[in-house]
Amino acid sequence: MKALNEIEQHKIVAIIRGYEEEDAYAIAKALYDGGIRLVEVTLNSPHALRTIEKISKELGGEMLVGAGTVLDPESAQAALMAGAKFILSPSLNTETIKLTKRYGAVSIPGAYTPTEILTAYEAGADVVKVFPATTLGPSYIKDLNGPLPQLRLLPTGGVTLDNVESYLSVGAFGVGLGSSLVHKTKEVTEEYLEEITDKARQFTSFVKEATGGHLS
């Protein structure tokens, strides 16, 4: 499964939330210039499906696009039809997992407790988004990987340049990056896009260090 392999290889899923189609596309290009190869467009963004379709068509050969904040199977289906290759949710909905798998896409539901995380895995999730990861930090991922080494965990929320290496060093499958990489601004300027590219380069450099230089 290409999307799963890409997440395992590149580790970083950059989250684009709240932007109109053209601005979101410009941000995706800036992220690509900084080495990011996976982006998530959240469905609570304006015209999110059009944005997913545009990025998928224009950058699909170079960057994989997923849909985030997917709360139900109907939304998942619409996102997949628009070109999303992976589906992320902030919470656990087993019907959304089933629908995503039926279409051959990567399912990444959100879960927090060990029971929720294992339930997601047993329902067919490819990766489990540990959200919010802010409070418990890398030690929680380490604790989960002890008794449940078969799980692929994607901590999201509170992942920064200061702790991204720590998350990966304790066994995180990858990380979801939100405002620490793409923060909301009123105007998407050239300076802002350059800032995103620079931050992306820093993150990808840190990930290379944490993975022994295997990121490409």
CA–CA dist 146, 185 (Å, integer): 40
Catalytic residue among 6, 21, 40, 53: 40
- Res 42: pLDDT: 98
Q: How confident is the model at residue 43 (pLDDT cuts 50, 70, 90)?
A: very high
- Asked about 40 being catalytic, the answer comes back as yes
What pTM did the predictor assign? 0.95
Domain boundaries, the chain: 2-210
- Asked about 122 being catalytic, the answer comes back as no
Catalytic residue among 11, 54, 85, 129: 129
Half-sphere exposure (CA, 13 Å, Cβ side) for 198? 6
Q: How confident is the model at residue 214 (pLDDT cuts 50, 70, 90)?
A: low
- Res 209: pLDDT: 87
Q: How confident is the model at residue 216 (pLDDT cuts 50, 70, 90)?
A: very low
CB 141 within 8 A of CB 168: no
Q: How confident is the model at residue 105 (pLDDT cuts 50, 70, 90)?
A: very high
Q: 2-210 has which fold?
A: TIM Barrel (3.20.20)
Query: Tell me: the pLDDT tens digits for 58-96?
Result: 998 899 999 999 999 999 999 999 999 999 999 999 999
CA–CA dist 163, 169 (Å, integer): 10
Judged by DSSP in three states, 130 sits in strand
Mean per-residue pLDDT over the chain, rounded: 95
DSSP string, 189-208: -HHHHHHHHHHHHHHHHHHH
